[in-house]
Amino acid sequence: MHEKCGVVGISLEDRDAARPLYYSLYALQHRGQESAGIVTHDGFQQYSHVEMGLVGDAFDPGDLEALNGSNGIGHVRYPTAGSVNACCAQPFSVSFKSGSLGLSHNGNLVNADEIGDELADLGHAFTSDGDTEVIAHDLARNLLEEDLVRAVKRTMNRIHGSYSLTIMHDETVLGVRDPQGNRPLCIGELKDGYVLASESAAIDTLDGELIRDVKPGELVVLHADGTGYDTYQLVEPENTANCFFEHVYFARPDSTIDENLVYEVRRELGRKLWEESGVESDVVLPVPDSGRAFASGYAEAAQDDGSDIEFAEGLMKNRYVGRTFIMPTQDERERAVRLKLNPIKSTIEGKSVTIIDDSIVRGTTSTQLIKLLKDAGAEEVNVRIGAPPIVAPCYMGIDMASRDELIAGNQSVEEIRDEIEADSLSYLSIDAIAETLDKSRTDLCLGCVTGEYPYDIEGEATDRDVVRPDIGTQSSPADD
């Protein structure tokens, strides 16, 4: 699985926003490594710099100096909709009769083609195949007829899917979270302004204070002079659809999302993993780095129950090797696992081992890890996973394998255990996820582990009553 994207927006009192935006994007780099960009406005004109690559490669000091203005938005991208090229890099910028517009998007629309086709018939020219440009054009069209708040609401009434947006209309920065709250977005206060970001870790990087999460269906408008913000609850959702995988895998452990510190959530999930399927062994090992908090909680819960299990680091990670799932062939993926992880034999040899990870996708990494551990002398290798089996793809902004590629797509847990050659295998239950997050299942997006989605996706089942917007007719002001 690949991360989704990261968005940020900043309004300051009397200093340029470019460098704080740059630092924020560094803090969000884990959410996307394909491209990075910043758009600013100085009250007179808009400035933009967007490049392919990591944040550190996309900007040099001269690029930041050229981004004038105390208001701006930024984006790091991993492509989940649209091509892997510069035309889809963000923030997306457009100039039109009512001014300039910049837009950063985290998430994925499921009706972008319908809206794009309608707008193309009306004469809008598109330069990319991404859904972000569709949102920008739709909003620009509405801004010709409405004020900023009503224009945003009209666009929200038309787009269907997951989105957290940071938008800049001339020098005004705003943030929008979709009515289901599928993607995270929060607001923080700086000593001389305010910031919107996908994760609170970006606010921490700027020495700011987290104020709160942006509510599902809420619009936050930052004052252009950096002195405050206004909020508008544009849609009142009956249920949310928070992505549980943010807490399991994607977000930084030091981020707070939907009022939960991610690190503590993962530790609690590890504790519940012991409660549901704990197995006596000599040592519990995290798969670095994603399994570390789970394994810590698992071992602590085991020890609280009187177990002699030991928590230890038994796998050393080479941080200069790329992700195994982007290798083009199965043989290369298997070789990359050996390049990436090396066992510490003194921790493993002659012992029964339990390894903890956040998920199993294709099963390639798990198979190789178990072989590594047994080659290093482990007498027994048990596998515990801090999430339910992934049985279906994600359409909400995670680049995930297809059903045919997912090891749990058409196999039982016992069949998976046999394929990866583990001595035992257990996953965490969905109920444990909901209980830890203190949410009902109906307030979570569980599509990848149930095959039922909170949005109307062609050919897929839904887990709730969903009304897909009718794109045949543009809503009138009276409908807003």
Reported as half-sphere exposure (CB side, CA atoms, 13 A), residue 264 has a value of: 9
Catalytic residue among 5, 87, 88, 186: 5
All residues at 6 or more sequence positions from 254 whose CB lies less than 8 Å from its CB, including other chains: 201, 204, 261, 262, 263
CB distance 127 to 93 below 8 Å: no
CB distance 37 to 164 below 8 Å: no
87 is in an annotated binding site: no
Q: 221: helix, coil or strand?
A: strand
Q: Please report, as a single letter, which amino acid is at residue 277.
A: S
Dist CA 264 CA 253 (whole Å): 8
88 is in an annotated binding site: no
Place of tokens 């977005």: 185
308 is in an annotated binding site: no
186 is in an annotated binding site: no
Tell me the two tokens of residue 468: 């897909």
Q: Starting at the earlier edge strand, list the strands of the sheet with 5-12.
A: 46-52, 35-41, 71-77, 5-12, 193-197, 186-190, 209-213
243 is in an annotated binding site: yes
Tell me the two tokens of residue 102: 């910049």
Number of neighbours of residue 388 by Cβ within 10 angstroms: 21
How would you classify residue 360: left for phi > 0, otherwise alpha for psi between -120 and 50, otherwise beta? beta
* Active-site residue, 5 included: yes
307 is in an annotated binding site: no
Dist CA 278 CA 384 (whole Å): 8
What's the gap between Cα 77 and its chain centre?
10
* Phi and psi torsions of 287, nearest 5°: -85, 115
358 is in an annotated binding site: yes
Active-site residue numbers?
A: 5
User: Which residues contribute to the annotated binding site for [4Fe-4S] cluster?
Assistant: 243, 394, 445, 448
User: Which residues contribute to the annotated binding site for Mg(2+)?
Assistant: 290, 357-358
User: Which residues contribute to the annotated binding site?
Assistant: 243, 290, 357-358, 394, 445, 448
